Amino acid sequence: MFWYEDEVKRLERQRLQDKRQPATLFYGSSSIRLWDNLSVDFKDFDAVNLGFGGSTLAACTWFFNRVMAGYKPKRLVLYAGDNDLGDGRHPEEVFLYFQQFAARVMKKFGPIPCYFISLKPSINRWGLINSFKFTNDILLQEIKQNQPNWRWIDIYNPMLNADGYPDAQYFLEDGLHLSQRGYLLWKDIIRGALIA
């Protein structure tokens, strides 16, 4: 996990410099990290961006206590697991990391509302799509059956075109990271979930 150290230290410095107490924490991988307008898009939810590039759900769990030090949020939004599968981890490993993550959230923050953004169907990782579908399925079932404080946000299906393939307009040229249109889509879906 040492390769994330600089990013985690950046988030620790950010916390020391920002003395406010944001109500909503967005945490996860580069899909969160690269969301430049996140704090504006969710201004009425008093949001802060705690994403760190390239992070896995394993890394989000590993660094949870360091990154979350000093925060007392009203809600937490997570996007992670995408890079775990990209790195060759099995869906059931991602499932176990999620269980560990949920336990850490409960221990630190208590029963606050939490939101898991489903794994996205990217062009770049289409060869792994069955693993992505399976991971989404088992995480959704875990949330429905065993995680009463968690809510599922489906961005997988809305990002597909009429042929059931990832819609290119939502991605940058790398076929992995979100375009401006991709973030507009996410914004509308996530806001809808937070308001519901």
Tens digit of pLDDT for each residue in 85-131? 999 999 999 999 999 999 999 999 999 999 999 999 999 999 999 99
Tens digit of pLDDT for each residue in 16-43? 998 889 999 999 999 999 999 999 999 9
E-only strand ranges, 9-86:
24-28, 47-51, 75-79
> What's the rounded mean pLDDT across residues 134-162?
98
* pLDDT score, position 185: 98
Instruction: Tell me the chain's radius of gyration from C-alpha atoms.
Output: 16
Tens digit of pLDDT for each residue in 48-94? 999 998 899 999 999 999 999 999 999 999 999 999 999 999 999 99
* pLDDT score, position 113: 98
pTM of the model: 0.96
**What percent of the chain is predicted at pLDDT more than 70?**
99
**pLDDT at residue 2 greater than cutoff 80:** no
* pLDDT score, position 54: 83
Tokens of 4: 């994330």
* pLDDT score, position 68: 97
**pLDDT at residue 14 greater than cutoff 80:** yes
Confidence of residue 3 (pLDDT cuts 50, 70, 90): confident
Q: How far apart are CA 14 and CA 12, in angstroms?
A: 5
182: burial class by Cβ within 10 Å (0-12, 13-18, 19+)? buried
Confidence of residue 196 (pLDDT cuts 50, 70, 90): confident
> What's the rounded mean pLDDT across residues 137-150?
98
* Domains of the chain as residue ranges with CATH: 2-195 (3.40.50.1110)
